[in-house]
Structure formats: structure tokens, C-alpha cells
Amino acid sequence: MFLWGTATAAYQIEGAVTEDGRGVSIWDTFAHEPGRTRDGHTGDMACDHYHSWREDVALMSGLGVNAYRFSIAWPRVQPLGTGPANTKGLDFYERLVDALLEAGIQPVPTLFHWDLPQALQDRGGWLNREVSEMFAEYAATVAHRLADRVPLWITLNEPFVHMAFGYAMGVHAPGEALLTGALPAAHHQLLAHGLAVRALRAAGVAQVAITNNCTPVWPASQREPDLRAAEAYDILHNRLFNDPILLGKYPDLSAYVPTLDVVRDGDLDVIATPLDALGINYYNPTRIAAPTSEGLPFTDAGITGYPTTAFGWPIVPDGLRELLTGLKARYGAALPPILITENGCSNDDTVTVDDQARIAFLEDHIAAMRQAMEEGVDVRGYFVWSLLDNFEWAEGYHQRFGLVHVDFATQRRIPKASYAWLKGFLERQNTDT
Ligand code: FCB
């Protein structure tokens, strides 16, 4: 069965940040620091999904999706990141999972979507190798409760973005701006992933995947410095996170950045533990030029000549086809089946829910995915980001990605035109097959 779903993440929708024993996450801390998020927005309330999850499951049921990708908040399960489980936190996810199953929707949990327990950040966060082992313990704890009902699990969401925005540039939690000093956060997340794959399987989980953010990299010109910078960017954004998982080795970083001296014997075997699927989040290609300042081996040259989303991201549906066929060309038989675990766009839907631009975006990207499938790429699922307008990290509530409009003052949900469109689209899939 091809999985058609919507995706969300805990901190972006749940709210209820102090309820039922939940611990503090790095996003609670970061969002409350002055100047970190646009207009000082926080996820304290978000979509209040912790209380309105029944309504949200009903919305998905009405939409006709057969899968739902959501994330589990580590600090709800282990408030301090390690130690005994907080039963009430696990109970929340169990209720959600059971309601989804009842509605005929396959739950697809992600164990880490950036909301690290603050207590672990106080011990260095992903710069500390021990956090990788703690993550595997946490994964096992959740799996012991839910593995009997949940077939497919995702370990991490976008370790690249978490490293780059959270540890290299300082624009996401935990707000570190270490530039290439952020690289250990890549290795420790990858190690955490590999250890978690093993822990999940030991706990009876049938299928495991990871979600990577990938981008086709376009050199700004065919001049040598731009080509070299584009290669560096491709390595840091794409290959650093796919090669070790799929090939059991790191790409050669030596020409661009300091060596990864945190890698120990045996780590790569753990990281390359076979997967059942590779999750891909696609938003847009990236155009790269030679560096203009010290510190990083590239510059983002920006893409012009395409329409853009409200976020200013270029809309390039064919980039999804390019990405998928490129992965197949690069990894061949080592590439597991692919799930598009996120794709979508922000629109200025503050006053209108007639989001025709989102409908066109989704239609064109689904067509590009199908083109890649015709070209031989094995894609098994597609998840729209996102079910609801939600807390878009540093942008706060300013970027609306939902199929469903949320009035954040009243928590009223109003399905947009794209919701009705997707519903009709999914009905047509069912009659066609
Ligand atoms: C991805 C994130 C997701 C959401 C979208 C717009 O990078 O995984 O949480 O913010 O971008």
C-alpha cells in the first residue's frame, strides 16, 4: 500500500509544555530567549494538539489519508532525557496511536524532531557522544510500549538541518554558532540513529527509517571555484548524512573542513545498520557559489527566475524528480525504498483559506515524484507538510504550511481549499487502483 499522509512535529503543534510531567526542551528555552524567534513567538500553546488531538485525528480521517507522520517529544517520555519513563507522556502517544489505528490511519512516529531535553543540552547536547546512547535507550522505552501496534518508525528528522541551523549558524535551538565546529553533532546524531535502529529492532519493531533533508545542488556557474563550492555543499548537506547510512563510510571532507575526529572504530558499522526505507524531505534546490567570507567553504547564491512560497523558497517541482533520480544514480542497489516524509509550502493564508497556490504546488510535486518513479525510483509514500498551520521554528506563527487553517487566538480549525483538493485526489487514487 502506498502511504499517503500528512506530517507534523511535536513542538510545532502540541503546546501543553508543562503538562503531565513533560520536561523542558531546548526549543522551550530557545524560543523564550529574547530575539531568537520572529516576534518572540513560542510553542507554549502552538495548536494545542495535546488537548485537541481527537479533532485532529478526525480531520485526517475526513481527509482520507492512510498514514500520519508525527513526532514523539523525548522530554514528555523522559523529562530529563534519561532514566525512568514518564508514564503520562507515553499514555498520550498511546491514545493517539490507538485513535489513528481505529480511524484506519497508520501511525508513523519520528522519535526526534529537534526537541532535545534541555537537561541533555546542559551536558553538551549532540556534541556529547553519550547523548547517542541515551537516545537509543529512549527509543527502546517508546518501542516497548508501542511496537506491537506501530510497524514503521523514523529515528531522526533532518539531522543536517538540526546540525546546520542549531549548531553551526545558531538560528535554531540550541543556538550555537560553531560553523564547522558543529560537525561532531552530525556524527553523534548518526550514531544515535544507528544505535536506535538496533534498539528498535530488539524491541520488536518491524521497519525503521531515518528522515534526511536533501537538496539538489546547482553550481552558480561552471567556473572552477563555484563547482568546487557546490561539491563541498553537496557533501555537507547530502552526502555527509546519506553516505555513512547507505555505504558505511563518510565522504572525504578533508579538502573543505577539519577532520571528524570523534569517529571511533565500529561507529560506521552501527550507523550503516540496514534500513527498510529512507525518508526524504524536499523543499527546494540550492544554488551554490564560491565562498565570499571566511568560515564556510561555500556561499548560498540564491535561486531566481522561479515563483516563490511565502517563505521566499523557490518553487521547483522538477527538483524533486532530479533529487530522487540522482539518489538512485548515486547509491544504486544500496538505496532502500524511499518515503517522501515532507513536502509542502507556506502560503499567506492569514485571511483566506482559498490556497490555490498550495494545490498547484502539491499537484506539481506529486507529478514530479511520479515521474521519478517511472524513471525507476522506488517511492512508497508521500506526506504533506503539514496537516495544520503551526509553529514554524524561528519564523514563529508567520509561515502557514497547513492544509487546515488554525486561528491561533481561538484554536479554531478551518480546512483550506487544499484540504478539499487532497481529499478528492485521494478518493480518485482509491477508485483508480
Ligand atoms: C522542515 C522541518 C519541518 C518544517 C518544514 C517547513 O525542515 O522538518 O519541521 O519546519 O521544514
Q: What does the alpha-carbon distance between residue 314 and residue 153 come to, in Å, rounded to a whole number?
A: 31
Ligand 1 pocket test, candidate residues 392, 395, 397, 400, most atoms within 8 A of CB: 392
* Global confidence as pTM: 0.98
Per-residue CA distances from 152 to 100, 118, 276 (Å): 14, 28, 9
- Span from the CA of 344 to the centroid of ligand 1 (angstroms): 9
Ligand 1: which of 156, 281, 390, 391 to mutate, judged by most atoms within 8 Å of the beta carbon? 281
Please tell me the distance from the alpha carbon of residue 43 to that of residue 17, in angstroms, as a whole number: 8
Which position among 14, 176, 322, 342 bears the catalytic label? 342
CA of 386 to the centre of ligand 1 (A): 9
Distance in angstroms (rounded) separating the CA atoms of residues 372 and 321: 5
Best mutation site among 393, 399, 400 for ligand 1, i.e. most ligand atoms within 8 A of its Cβ? 393
Question: Among the options 158, 176, 231, 392, which is catalytic?
Answer: 158
Atom 4 of ligand 1, nearest CA residue: 392
pLDDT in tens, the chain (433 residues): 999 999 999 999 999 999 999 999 999 999 999 999 999 999 999 999 999 999 999 999 999 999 999 999 999 999 999 999 999 999 999 999 999 999 999 999 999 999 999 999 999 999 999 999 999 999 999 999 999 999 999 999 999 999 999 999 999 999 999 999 999 999 999 999 999 999 999 999 999 999 999 999 999 999 999 999 999 999 999 999 999 999 999 999 998 888 889 999 999 999 999 999 999 999 999 999 999 988 899 999 999 999 999 999 999 999 999 999 999 999 999 999 999 999 999 999 777 799 999 999 999 999 999 999 999 999 999 999 999 999 999 999 999 999 999 999 999 999 999 999 999 999 999 776 5
The pLDDT of residue 363: 98
What pLDDT is attached to residue 192? 99
Distance 56 CA to ligand 1 centre (A): 19
The number of the ligand 1 atom at minimal distance from the alpha carbon of 401 is 6
Q: Distance from the CA of 223 to the center of ligand 1, in angstroms?
A: 33
Which atom from ligand 1 is nearest to the alpha carbon of 213?
Answer: 7
The residues pairing with 7 across neighbouring beta strands, listed in sequence order, are 69, 385
Q: Are strands 106-112 and 3-7 parallel, antiparallel or unpaired?
A: unpaired
User: Residue 3's beta-bridge partner residues?
Assistant: 381
Over the range 180-206, which residues count as b (16 or more CB within 10 Å of their CB) and which as e?
eebbbbbbbbbbbbbbbbebbbebebe
pLDDT value at position 432?
Answer: 66
In this structure, the dihedral spanned by the alpha carbons of residues 279, 285, 290 and 293, taken in order and rounded to 10 degrees, is: -80
- What is the C-alpha separation between 324 and 279, in angstroms, rounded? 11
Active site residue 374: no
Distances (CA, A) of 227 to 77, 142, 218, 261: 45, 44, 9, 27
Q: Is 158 annotated as catalytic?
A: yes
Ligand 1: centre distance to CA 347 (Å):
14
Report phi then psi at 413, rounded to 5.
Answer: -105, 130
User: Which residue from 158, 212, 395 has its CB within 8 A of the most atoms of ligand 1, so it is best to mutate?
Assistant: 158
* Ligand 1: centre distance to CA 225 (Å): 31
User: What's the CA-to-centroid distance between 283 and ligand 1, angstroms?
Assistant: 9
Non-local CB neighbours of 231 within 8 Å, separated by 6+ positions: none
Q: How far, in Å, are 93, 106, 153, 244, 283 from residue 202 at the CA level?
A: 21, 21, 13, 22, 34
Measured from CB, residues less than 6 Å from any atom of ligand 1 are 9, 12, 157-158, 161, 213, 281, 342, 385, 392-393, 401
Q: Whose CA is nearest to atom 10 of ligand 1?
A: 392
Ligand 1 atom closest to Cα of residue 399: 6
Q: Residue of the nearest CA to atom 5 in ligand 1?
A: 385
Other Cβ atoms closer than 10 A to 156? 24
